[in-house]
Amino acid sequence: MRRALAVGLFALSAFFIFYTVRLFAVTGALVHTRPGGQGAYIGAIVFPLLAVVFGWAGVRCWVRGGRAGGPAA
């Protein structure tokens, strides 16, 4: 069960990595933002942060999922 949750968390992490790369590609590394487009700057901070958080949570779930089914060490 935890391994399935980990896969979902990894997918969310990959989604936010994709959107971070897309944001930088579309805005030309945040050089070409439209007037009033401060959301791009917020996204440049929040998207990578979410990718790291979901990736970290996925690793934690994956490791704990492997330990839960095996013999006690």
pLDDT digits 0-9 by tens, 23-68 = 999 999 888 888 888 889 999 999 999 999 999 999 999 999 887 6
pLDDT at 72: 46
pLDDT digits 0-9 by tens, 4-26 = 999 999 999 999 999 999 999 99
- Amino acid at the residue 21: V
Distance CA 30, CA 5 (A): 34
| 70 pLDDT more than 60 | no
